[in-house]
């Protein structure tokens, strides 16, 4: 093992790996070794590995479902310049812009000044109301929902009502109220777009960012 910056024999800090690319290489090798990805489409492996990388849970793979065309659809959309529509600023902030293949816009409407009034008028969360401002960008978009279950429910309601269809939905909200149910609804919906979900309570902004970054990196392959 290579030593970290503190190499003094006096130090109580153990030696550690301080080479960024090497840390990534080892992490991905450990995940490949420990995670069972066999039930997932082959082209989803790098995406799921990066999702696991973001949360440290190799058993995440068992709860992950990827529709057969999801990865190809997402990468086609990204290469064609589709925007990435995010439910939370945490998701939007984490996406590594230089990985995106076509200078794709990353959009989060949560803090648009119109959203509080929309939410109050509809009696819903700001996260769900913010999707009303997605209408003109939804067609063929990559949707990344990493926080709010109500945003995923709202997206399904919009699609049912005839809104344009995104290319793919990364349905990865987290939590105890509505997260499991919203993801189950996405997978079961007869008009479900291509999707990536982690069933159950697990999800989150970091995991969703990992999925988008892996999809973007895969566009270059
Ligand atoms: C019920 C909500 C949940 N939030 C969760 C987890 C986290 N949320 C964080 C932060 C900073 C934000 N959450 C909001 C989206 C806020 N969270 C909610 C809502 C009340 C409703 C969403 C829903 O149920 O669908 C939602 C507010 C709303 O009206 O939509 C946020 C907008 C709150 C705010 O700042 O006003 C904000 C998002 C900021 C952004 O744009 O990035 C956490 C960091 C929690 C914290 O602050 O301690 C954390 C992040 C988790 C992650 O990985 O994304 C849950 C667990 C999803 C929870 C819903 C489920 C539950 O409680 O069981």
User: Is residue 163 over pLDDT 70?
Assistant: yes
Q: What is the pLDDT of residue 221?
A: 77
What is the whole-number distance in angstroms between the Cα of residue 160 and the centre of ligand 1? 25
Q: Which long-range contacts (CB under 8 A, 24 or more apart) does 122-129 make?
A: 124/150, 124/154, 125/150, 125/151, 127/87, 127/88, 127/151, 128/153, 128/154, 129/154
CB of 131 closer than 6 angstroms to any ligand 1 atom:
no
C-alpha dihedral sign at 130, 76, 21, 48: positive
Contacts (Cβ under 8 Å, ≥6 apart) of 94: 205, 206, 208, 209, 213
Q: What angle do CA 59, 27, 147 make, to 5 degrees?
A: 55
CB of 203 closer than 6 angstroms to any ligand 1 atom:
no
Task: Please write the tens of the pLDDT for every residue from 128-149.
Answer: 999 999 999 999 999 999 999 9
Nearest atom in ligand 1 to 91's CA: 42
What is the whole-number distance in angstroms between the Cα of residue 67 and the centre of ligand 1? 27
The pLDDT-based confidence of 220 (bands split at 50, 70, 90) is confident
Whether the predicted model's global pTM rises above the 0.90 cut: yes
Task: Please write the tens of the pLDDT for every residue from 85-106.
Answer: 999 999 999 999 999 999 999 9
Residue 53 appears among annotated catalytic residues: yes
């Amino acid at each position: 093992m290579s030593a970290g910056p503190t190499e003094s024999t006096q130090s109580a800090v153990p030696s550690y790996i301080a080479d960024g690319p090497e840390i990534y290489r080892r992490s991905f090798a450990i995940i490949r070794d420990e995670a069972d990805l066999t039930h997932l489409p082959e082209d989803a492996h790098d995406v799921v590995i990066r999702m696991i990388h973001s949360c440290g849970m190799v058993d995440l793979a068992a709860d992950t479902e990827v529709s057969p065309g999801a990865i190809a659809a997402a990468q086609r959309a990204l290469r064609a310049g589709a925007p990435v529509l995010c439910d939370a600023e945490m998701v939007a902030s984490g996406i590594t812009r230089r990985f995106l293949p076509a200078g794709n816009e990353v959009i989060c409407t949560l803090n648009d000044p119109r959203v509080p009034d929309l939410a109050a008028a509809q009696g819903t969360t700001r996260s769900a109301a913010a999707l009303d401002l997605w209408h003109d960008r939804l067609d063929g978009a990559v949707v990344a929902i990493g926080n709010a279950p109500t945003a995923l429910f709202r997206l399904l309601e919009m699609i049912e009502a005839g809104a344009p269809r995104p290319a793919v939905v990364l349905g990865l909200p987290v939590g105890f109220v509505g997260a499991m149910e919203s993801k189950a609804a996405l997978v079961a919906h007869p008009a479900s777009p291509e999707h990536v979900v982690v069933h159950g309570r697990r999800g989150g902004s970091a995991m969703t960012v990992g999925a988008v970054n892996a999809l973007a990196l895969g566009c270059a392959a």
